[in-house]
Amino acid sequence: MKKVSLDEIKKIELELLDLVDKVCRENDIEYSLGGGSLLGSVRHKGFIPWDDDIDIMLTRENYDKLIKLLSHQEEAELWHYSIKETFQPYAKLCNKQTYQAKAGFDFLWSKIGVNIDIFPMDTMPAKEDVRVQFMHEAQHKAEILYSTSFPAFVSGSKWYYSFARLFLRGPKYLKYHGKNRQVAKDVDEFMAKYQLDAKANQIGFLASRYFDKEHFPIEIFEAYEDAQFEGLSVRKIVDHDSYLRQIHGDYMQLPPENQRINHDYVTFYWKED
């Protein structure tokens, strides 16, 4: 087996991002770099030096349009519940020539290649207590989705994460195993619950690891601009400051070295001809 090097991983991810950008521009779909990729674009004009993945985010309407278009792409493989079994409430666009070997206790994505993450940004209620309750319920449903298949539901970067998840998610697995597609559809539709609510004034990815920090004024997803990312011209929200400050605070300040997290527990290999 030939391991995919870090430089090769980044090159593949940039190719996937470029593909998404072309599809979006050709079909008048707005998207933005998200998470660490948006931060990297603003602060480093590319990858955060210790990071090795790419995230993009789209409003629900644009997300649904893009999913339909990417499901017909020959150049890359889309992982989304409408196409195949998945365990996370968002989509991944994957390279077809690589695959992820099981690394340690990471059982979740062993069949897929180098990929980028595509997140739906859903509207949320204006009233804070209703919004918080809605977010927590969405995160609970996402936990059920993670729990629908073994050994995927015990996946973790470290053994003690897997051990804890065995007990926390085990009861959910007993109840929901074999119902992955049904649960994934339920989660996706639940997150879009307020899509047509004219009074909803917040937006975010409801199953975010940032939990209650993941809510932003809906207006920041109304204006987009070109941005540089490792030499590519891609898209981002104009008001990146509101997004990044909500999550990271003083985002232009580098974090302490012990908080510079990467994904080095994941190992990809080239498929053999």
Could you read off the pLDDT of 58-84 as tens digits, one per residue?
Answer: 999 999 999 999 998 889 999 999 998
Residue 155: what residue type?
S
What is the CB neighbour count within 10 angstroms for residue 272? 6
Cα–Cα distance measured from residue 142 to residue 145, given in angstroms and rounded to the nearest whole number: 5
pLDDT at residue 106 in the model = 58
Q: Is the dihedral of CA 246, 227, 67, 58 positive or negative?
A: positive
Give backbone dihedrals phi and psi of 220, rounded to 5 degrees, phi first.
-70, -10
113: left (phi over 0), alpha (psi -120 to 50) or beta: beta
Above pLDDT 70, what percent of the chain? 93
pLDDT at residue 41 in the model = 97
The arithmetic mean of pLDDT across residues 101-118, rounded, is 75
Could you read off the pLDDT of 192-231 as tens digits, one per residue?
Answer: 999 989 899 999 999 998 888 999 999 999 999 999 999 9
Q: 3-class DSSP state for residue 114? A: coil
Decide if 84 is inside a domain. yes
Range of the domain at 71: 2-253
Q: Which of 21-25, 89-93, 177-181, 218-222 has the lowest mean pLDDT?
A: 177-181
| First-to-final CA distance of the chain | 11
- Residue 56: name the closest of 117, 145, 142, 106 by CA: 117
Decide if 262 is inside a domain. no
pLDDT at residue 264 in the model = 59
pLDDT at residue 159 in the model = 63
Q: 3-class DSSP state for residue 48? A: coil
Cα–Cα distance measured from residue 10 to residue 87, given in angstroms and rounded to the nearest whole number: 24
Decide if 41 is inside a domain. yes
101-110, 138-147, 156-165, 216-225: range with highest mean pLDDT: 216-225
Which carries the bigger pLDDT value, residue 157 or residue 58? 58
The arithmetic mean of pLDDT across residues 185-196, rounded, is 95
Decide if 239 is inside a domain. yes
Q: Is residue 107 pLDDT above 60, yes or no?
A: no
Q: Is residue 257 pLDDT above 60, yes or no?
A: yes
Domain count, the chain: 1
The arithmetic mean of pLDDT across residues 222-249, rounded, is 97
Decide if 18 is inside a domain. yes
Which carries the bigger pLDDT value, residue 172 or residue 34? 34
The arithmetic mean of pLDDT across residues 242-253, rounded, is 93
Read off the pLDDT band of 191 (50, 70, 90): very high
Decide if 30 is inside a domain. yes
Read off the pLDDT band of 109 (50, 70, 90): low
Say if CB 109 and CB 100 are below 8 A apart: yes
198 CB burial (10 A radius; 0-12, 13-18, 19+): exposed
- Ordered DSSP codes for 100-128: EEPBTTB-TTTT--SEEEEEEEEEE-SSH
Which pair of tokens denotes residue 267? 């190992």
pLDDT at residue 110 in the model = 65
Decide if 263 is inside a domain. no
pLDDT at residue 263 in the model = 60
Decide if 48 is inside a domain. yes
pTM exceeds cut of 0.85: yes
